[in-house]
């Protein structure tokens, strides 16, 4: 148990196994075994410019980022999401089925690219994991429950001298102080999708490559996702009102939330977004027409080649 908290020392690795819980953690990764906390548990900690370890955590950053983190960061940096992902993130896999996750890119020594001598250069829009540190979010879902539970972690790393400061507050108060509540609220459906995917993994199996690409685009590449949603073929297929389409065209958060809804449809077959009447049949018919057109074109090309070969044989005097 970490002496600086009022929580019980729970080994939730064993607990997770016993109750068949599936979990998603959002800490800065660390070899230190975390302790589980609840909202009312106390945290003795304070980080400020005067600590002897200033910037040490950001010099060895391993920060998993969420969809809302990306919206905040790319808007703060005035970047397109595709450009942001290319410059500032590295991919990893969230589960054995290759569901894509992203971490902040670091320099070759492991330091976050946003770290400056005076501190974090994107402080107002720093990611969820940075706001939580030295705590973290632990979203858990039991196999028998429909929804997830929210717990917290405490990671007491020896280099972090903030634990020696004489300042005590509850995890609930710390979350408020760090402005992390809105992040958790807006990312909540996304955590649920990951947990549901983990807990129903064997039932639904490995998602197709197309589903995984859709997860990536809807979760992380919001500006590309917007082009997809505003495309003619999407609008023909899904029955949203003009107001809804107008909102998706201009509002990143509405678009992100719509992406989570679409993911439930893609991963779990939940028919939550209404399709236009007859749109699917029409699409199948159009597809059939395209396939027929391609088949006819291939036959014509084959005949043309045969005719050319016959003429070449005639010209060289090798007639049958
Ligand atoms: S985003 Fe800011 S707080 Fe987070 S690791 Fe980078 S420099 Fe540190
Ligand atoms: S006290 Fe902890 S969180 Fe603050 S700068 Fe030092 S290592 Fe980072």
Residues of the chain where predicted confidence (pLDDT) is lower than 50: 1-18, 319-320
Angle at 182 between CA 176 and CA 187, to 5 degrees: 135
Angle at 235 between CA 229 and CA 238, to 5 degrees: 95
Q: What whole-number percentage of the chain has pLDDT above 70?
A: 85
| CA separation for the pair 226, 81 (Å, rounded) | 11
Q: Kindly give the number of the ligand 2 atom that is closest to the alpha carbon of 47.
A: 4
pTM over 0.75: yes
Q: How far is the CA of 61 from the centre of ligand 2 (A)?
A: 12
Which protein residue's CA is at the shortest distance from atom 1 of ligand 1? 126
Within 6 A (CB) of ligand 2 lie 47, 51, 53-57, 133, 159-162
Name the one residue in this structure whose structure tokens are 């389409």.
245
Distance set, CA 232 to CA 227, 228, 246 (Å): 10, 9, 14
Q: pLDDT per residue over 56-73, tens digit each? A: 999 999 999 999 999 999
Contact indicator for 151, 37 with CB cutoff of 8 Å? yes
User: What's CA 142's distance to the chain center, in Å?
Assistant: 21
Q: How far is the CA of 130 from the centre of ligand 2 (A)?
A: 10
Contact indicator for 264, 193 with CB cutoff of 8 Å? yes
Q: How far is the CA of 40 from the centre of ligand 2 (A)?
A: 23
**pLDDT value at residue 29:** 65
* Closest CA relative to residue 105, chosen from 118, 92, 119: 92
112 lines ligand 1 (CB under 6 A): yes
Reported as half-sphere exposure (CB side, CA atoms, 13 A), residue 125 has a value of: 15
Which protein residue's CA is at the shortest distance from atom 7 of ligand 2? 160
Q: pLDDT per residue over 189-218, tens digit each? A: 999 999 888 887 656 678 889 999 999 999
b/e code 219-230 from CB counts within 10 Å (16+ = b)? bbbbbbbbeebe
According to DSSP, the residues that pair with 78 across neighbouring strands are none
Ligand nearest to the CA of 117: 1
| CA separation for the pair 243, 232 (Å, rounded) | 16
Distance set, CA 269 to CA 68, 262, 273, 287 (Å): 24, 10, 11, 22
Q: Find the farthest-apart pair of alpha carbons in the chain and give their distance in angstroms, rounded.
A: 101
**pLDDT value at residue 8:** 34
Contact indicator for 23, 140 with CB cutoff of 8 Å? yes
Question: How many residues are listed for the chain in this entry?
Answer: 320
| CA separation for the pair 47, 53 (Å, rounded) | 9
């Amino acid at each position: 148990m970490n002496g600086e908290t009022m929580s019980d020392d729970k080994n939730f690795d064993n607990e997770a196994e016993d109750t068949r819980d599936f979990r998603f953690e959002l800490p800065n990764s660390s070899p230190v075994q975390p302790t589980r906390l609840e909202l009312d548990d106390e945290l003795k900690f304070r980080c400020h410019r005067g600590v002897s370890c200033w910037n040490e955590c950001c010099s060895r950053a391993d920060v998993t980022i969420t969809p809302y983190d990306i919206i905040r960061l790319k808007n703060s940096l005035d970047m397109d999401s595709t450009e942001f992902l290319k410059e500032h993130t590295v991919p990893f896999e969230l589960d054995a089925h290759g569901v894509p996750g992203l971490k902040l890119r670091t320099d070759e020594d492991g330091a976050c690219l946003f770290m400056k001598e005076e501190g974090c250069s994107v402080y107002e829009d720093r990611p969820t994991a940075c706001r939580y540190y030295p705590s973290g979010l632990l979203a858990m879902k039991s196999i028998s429950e429909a929804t997830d539970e929210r717990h917290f972690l405490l990671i007491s790393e020896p280099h972090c001298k903030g634990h020696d400061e004489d300042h005590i507050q509850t995890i609930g108060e710390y979350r408020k102080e760090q402005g992390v509540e809105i992040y958790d609220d807006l990312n909540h459906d996304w955590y649920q999708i990951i947990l549901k995917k983990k807990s129903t993994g064997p039932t639904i199996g490995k998602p197709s490559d197309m589903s995984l690409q859709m997860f990536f685009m809807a979760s992380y590449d919001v500006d590309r996702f917007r082009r997809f949603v505003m495309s003619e073929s999407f609008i023909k297929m899904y029955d949203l009102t003009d107001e809804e389409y107008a909102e998706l065209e201009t509002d990143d958060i509405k678009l992100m939330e719509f992406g989570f809804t679409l993911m439930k449809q893609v991963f779990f077959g939940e028919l939550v977004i209404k399709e236009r009447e007859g749109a699917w049949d029409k699409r199948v018919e159009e597809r059939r027409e395209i396939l027929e057109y391609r088949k006819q074109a291939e036959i014509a090309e084959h005949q043309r080649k045969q005719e050319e070969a016959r003429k070449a044989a005639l010209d060289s005097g090798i007639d049958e």
